[in-house]
């Protein structure tokens, strides 16, 4: 039997980042917002008044987008009314942008509240918007615990930004 190797060197960054957030540094999302990175370098695809959207650095599928408030809160009930309204409007816009850019056949949209529910960054609530295609799961996840992504994140971010719907006009 031959041992097969699949190079996934980018995973080293993820493995090194696992653990509690640095003292006083906040969540990884808060750290991204506080960094000097441009939206292009941080893969932020949309900014609104209270919420923003960015690509998941370790996506389940191409165009896996996260929508979250700027403010670091863990629970839905801790969001302000303005954050709730904008969060769901931004999720809807993210779905529309991904539909326009990638034409998926479906979506998984969800929140993992708390670490036991699968929340890897449970201190900063975020909504996953994951496009899906019939047959998009493949043997790589099952046999190599690896996902195959056909496009660089910077290219995915550019496509989603270009497809992001214009804000609806308000008023008469």
Residues with catalytic function: 126
Exposed/middle/buried for residue 58 (C-beta within 10 Å: 0-12, 13-18, 19+): middle
Cβ contacts of residue 82 below 8 Å, gap of 6+?
49, 50
H-helix or E-strand containing 107? strand 106-110
- In DSSP terms, 58 is beta-bridged to none
User: Which tokens hold the place of 122?
Assistant: 């449970």
- In DSSP terms, 54 is beta-bridged to 44, 66
Tell me how long the chain is.
172
């Amino acid at each position: 039997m031959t041992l097969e190797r699949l190079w996934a060197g980018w995973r080293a960054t993820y493995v090194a980042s696992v653990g509690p957030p640095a003292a006083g540094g906040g969540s990884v999302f808060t750290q991204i917002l506080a960094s000097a990175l441009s939206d292009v370098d941080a893969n932020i695809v949309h900014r609104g008044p209270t919420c923003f959207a960015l690509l998941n650095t370790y996506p389940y599928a191409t165009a896996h987008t996260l929508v979250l408030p700027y403010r670091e809160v863990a629970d839905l009930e801790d969001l302000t009314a303005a954050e709730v309204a904008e969060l769901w409007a931004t999720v809807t816009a993210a779905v529309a942008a991904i539909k326009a850019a990638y034409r998926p056949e479906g979506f998984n949209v969800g929140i993992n509240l708390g670490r036991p529910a699968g929340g890897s960054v449970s201190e900063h609530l975020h909504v996953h918007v994951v496009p899906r295609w019939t047959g998009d799961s493949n043997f790589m996840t099952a046999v190599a615990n690896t996902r195959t992504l056909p496009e660089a994140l910077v290219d995915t971010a550019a496509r989603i930004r270009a497809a992001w719907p214009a804000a609806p006009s308000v008023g008469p």
